[in-house]
Structure 1
Amino acid sequence: MIPFPEPTAPAGNRTEVFLRYLDYFRESTVAKVSALAEPELRRSRLPSGWTPLELLTHLRHVELRWIEWGFQGRDVADPWGDRRDDRWYVTPEETREDLVAALRAQGEHTSAVVTAHDLAEIGAPGPRWNGADPASLERVLFHLVQEYARHLGHLDVVAELAGGPVGE
């Protein structure tokens, strides 16, 4: 497990700080889901109905939407591929291993893009921005950090209810 990126740990620049937090939250999410028993992966313990596997695919698509479809302005075939009928979704054939691999691969892509660009660089125009001016890479990264932190907190509660690991 990646250690928490303490605010007092030296970093070369803000890019490194963002990537440390994203890596920490991504791998903490993987660790929580990996520690759950197989039946808990597709079971929801919350009124909203999402499952731990659905959370994994959601976070992968969040990075896809904000980095590739948004900042890079790439044509993405199905940027909302984590959703069916207005809720998160995974097919019965998708496994924990598949989804973890996809999330990590997306994280590697995010890291490559982030290290190749300045944080002040403005994203490419495209449909991700819904007609608004594109955001800077730094703003996109702030959004990704809050998305991961919020959902990891949700997963902490679900893991505890499922008898999985508690706390950091």
Structure 2
Amino acid sequence: MLDDAPIVFPSPTIPAAGRAEVFVRYLDYFREGLLAKTSALPEAELRSSRLPSGWTPLELVKHLRFVELRWIEWGFQGRDVGDPWGDRRDDRWHVGPSETLADLAATLRAQGEHTTAVITGSDLAAVGQPGPRWDGADPANLERVLFHLLQEYARHLGHLDIVAEIAGGPTGE
């Protein structure tokens, strides 16, 4: 396991200082849940797919790091991030043979730290910077971007639950 700290669900009954804190808690929860589930899988399961779509758990970890990069840095902040689609090759998710779960987890956590800094340092109503992320549309505000990130994580963590269950690994919350 990458980290032995317990993953605590950010229950709606736990007081929060504001909406930004709620977003941070849920994103941290989903990020660490993803890493806990993948770290409990054997290496062979990390690099193989049990689904017709063909994605692997390692590819999912890398994909979600790039999702945060695309929406927060490239989109909301309007930064040049080099290759915002670096999680893809030949129109599908890709992880190179030398990429490890430990490396991908560290990169995802670092991206999460950046996301947290943006959330806590910005007004949720702030509108993102114009740029290629928006495909010519008006940029979204930070709150809308964060809702999108939450649905990405929740959806993909559900997908991983199915894969982990088939592989005999941990499922659910």
TM over 0.5: yes
Residues 1:24 and 2:16 aligned together:
no
Relative to the length of structure 2, the TM-score reads: 0.96
Distance in 1 (CA, whole Å) between partners of 2:81 and 2:10 is 32
Query: Residue type matched to 2:128 in 1?
Result: G
Distance in 1 (CA, whole Å) between partners of 2:44 and 2:101 is 11
Gaps of 5+ in 2: 1-5
Distance in 1 (CA, whole Å) between partners of 2:52 and 2:106 is 28
1:50 to 51, 55, 58: 55
RMSD after superposition? 0.6
Relative to the length of structure 1, the TM-score reads: 0.99
Residues 1:103 and 2:121 aligned together:
no
Equivalent residue number for residue 91 of structure 2: 86
Aligned length: 168
Residues 1:137 and 2:142 aligned together:
yes
1:78: Cα distance to partner? 0.4
Query: Residue type matched to 1:100 in 2?
Result: A
Distance in 1 (CA, whole Å) between partners of 2:11 and 2:169 is 25
Q: Structure 1 residue runs of 4+, over 4 Å off?
A: none
1:166: Cα distance to partner? 2.4
Identical aligned residues as a percent: 77
1:8: Cα distance to partner? 1.1
* CA deviation map 1:115-157 (0-9, x unaligned): 1100000000000000000000000000000000000000000
Distance in 2 (CA, whole Å) between partners of 1:6 and 1:89 is 34
